[in-house]
Amino acid sequence: MDDRRKFPRIPTLKAGRIEFNRRLNVVDCVVRNMSDGGACIQVEDTGWLPATFDLAVPIDGLKRACRVAWRSADKLGVAYQ
């Protein structure tokens, strides 16, 4: 299969947080892979999450604004803004 991503994804298994609504809403997640351009994150249910939010990965000191590129029942693909 041909991978058309601009940035190669690196598999990870890191704890993360989805933050939105001025940090009034915080949802724990698992970061499954990352790149310079985005990430794949796993949560229990993606259906109610907004199209834009901040992703924090405390172990890396990372906090990035994101927009959802795709979603499935329990995973989100996000692009950094």
Residues of the chain with pLDDT > 70: what percent? Answer: 94
pLDDT tens-digit map of 23-57: 999 999 999 999 999 999 999 999 999 999 999 99
Residue 19 CA to its chain's centroid (Å) = 11
Q: What DSSP state is assigned to residue 30? A: E
- For the chain, domains (ranges, CATH) are 10-80 (2.40.10.220)
Whether the per-residue pLDDT at 79 is higher than 70: the answer is: yes
**pLDDT tier at 2 (50, 70, 90 boundaries)?**
low
- Tokens 């999450």 — which residue? 49
